[in-house]
């Protein structure tokens, strides 16, 4: 491979656009191309990152790419892959990496669409990749140290990347992608409770969001189990333990686990 990795992103929507923008900032490492049927999203990327190559042709976008990332809806994946068969000559097949972000299409199904040779990865990002503080679970058919590093580096420009076995992807999606909605519900609940206790809604939401961010940073920086951080704020006979016990009586942990379980088929 050249010194710069040529990454072609097919579909400039929420996910594809976020990946394009994340990679476009690292001009030393990546040459970024993006394709999309309509111009609007391409123009928006081009306005922010003039060096990104944009096109309406998936074929043109993918030609010569080291890594092709599919950011189209699941039902478009087959028709897009079909456009690439002539690009993947026997020679370039051995050097190409295909990363699909489409939910619900497993690696075996992708392999059936591509044929043999190409390295296939499945990546499930969450919506916070747009702010580069996302989580992406990545899985592959068989491990290759160099390819794993390339794919992991790409998604690490957008936040935390976890490479896992494919059987763990659904769980990862429940925690990090569906988890985004669960965290939002927690913020809404904290805001509603804060308002009932007398705070303005905007103040309660701001404080709850900052508290959630602070809790996450404590876990990341101190490296402790959440319960050890809980111990620090629960004085015996105090108010916090009363609040926690009241939440558990209402089924807090059980409800969260049940919610996660419901996300996995």
C-beta contacts of 249-255 below 8 A and 24+ residues apart: none
Contact between 159 and ligand NAP per CB under 6 A: no
Contact between 41 and ligand NAP per CB under 6 A: yes
Radius of gyration of the chain (CA): 22
Contact between 11 and ligand NAP per CB under 6 A: yes
Tell me which of 32, 87, 98, 102 binds ligand NAP, using CB under 6 A.
Answer: 102
Cα separation, 222 vs 216, whole angstroms:
10
Binding piece for ligand NAP, criterion CB under 6 A, among 71-79, 139-147, 160-168, 197-205: 71-79
Residue 160 phi/psi, 5° resolution?
-75, 135
Binding piece for ligand NAP, criterion CB under 6 A, among 32-40, 107-115, 164-172, 256-264: 32-40
Pairing of strands 67-70, 97-100: parallel
The answer to whether the beta carbons of residues 156 and 129 sit under 8 Å apart is no
Pairing of strands 119-125, 134-140: antiparallel
The answer to whether the beta carbons of residues 47 and 27 sit under 8 Å apart is no
Tell me which of 5, 6, 69, 71 binds ligand NAP, using CB under 6 A.
Answer: 71
- Which spans in 118-225 are helix H? 145-156, 169-172, 178-196, 201-222
Contact between 127 and ligand NAP per CB under 6 A: yes
Contact between 99 and ligand NAP per CB under 6 A: no
Interaction pattern, residues 183-222, with ligand NAP; x per rule: CB under 6 A:
----------------------------------------
Contact between 177 and ligand NAP per CB under 6 A: yes
Cα separation, 155 vs 177, whole angstroms:
15
Q: Residue 142 has which token pair?
A: 């068989």
Residue 28 phi/psi, 5° resolution?
-70, -30
Contact between 33 and ligand NAP per CB under 6 A: no
Query: How many chain residues touch ligand NAP (CB under 6 A)?
Result: 27
Residues 6+ apart with CB under 8 A from 130: 14, 17, 18, 21
Tell me which of 24, 62, 65, 124 binds ligand NAP, using CB under 6 A.
Answer: 124
Contact between 72 and ligand NAP per CB under 6 A: yes
Q: In terms of CB distance, is 35 or 157 closer to ligand NAP?
A: 35
Tell me which of 8, 32, 33, 58 binds ligand NAP, using CB under 6 A.
Answer: 58
Binding site for ligand NAP (CB under 6 A): 10-16, 35-38, 41, 58, 71-74, 76, 80, 101-103, 124-127, 177
């Amino acid at each position: 491979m050249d010194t710069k990795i040529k990454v072609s992103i097919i579909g400039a929507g929420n996910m594809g656009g976020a990946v394009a923008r994340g990679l476009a900032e690292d001009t030393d490492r990546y040459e970024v191309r993006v394709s999309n049927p309509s111009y609007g999203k391409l123009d928006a990327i081009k306005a922010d990152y003039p060096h990104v190559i944009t096109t309406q042709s998936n074929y043109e976008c993918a030609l010569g790419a080291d890594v092709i990332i599919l950011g189209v809806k699941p039902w478009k994946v087959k028709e897009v892959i079909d456009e690439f068969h002539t690009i993947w000559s026997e020679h370039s097949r051995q050097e190409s990496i295909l990363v699909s972000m489409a939910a619900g299409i497993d690696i075996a199904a992708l392999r059936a669409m591509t044929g043999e040779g190409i390295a296939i990865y499945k990546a499930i990002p969450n919506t916070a990749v747009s702010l580069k503080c996302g989580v992406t679970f990545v899985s592959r058919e068989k491990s290759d140290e160099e390819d794993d590093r390339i794919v992991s580096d790409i998604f690490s420009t957008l936040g935390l990347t976890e490479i896992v076995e494919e059987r763990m992807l659904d769980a990862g999606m429940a925690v990090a992608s569906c988890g985004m909605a669960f965290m939002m519900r927690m913020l809404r609940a904290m805001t509603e409770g804060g308002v009932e206790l007398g705070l303005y809604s905007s103040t309660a939401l701001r404080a709850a969001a900052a508290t959630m961010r602070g809790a996450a940073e404590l876990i990341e920086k101190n490296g402790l189990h959440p319960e050890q951080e809980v111990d620090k704020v629960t004085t015996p006979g105090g108010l916090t333990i009363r609040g926690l016990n009241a939440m558990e009586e209402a089924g807090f942990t059980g409800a969260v686990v049940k919610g996660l379980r419901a996300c996995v088929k």
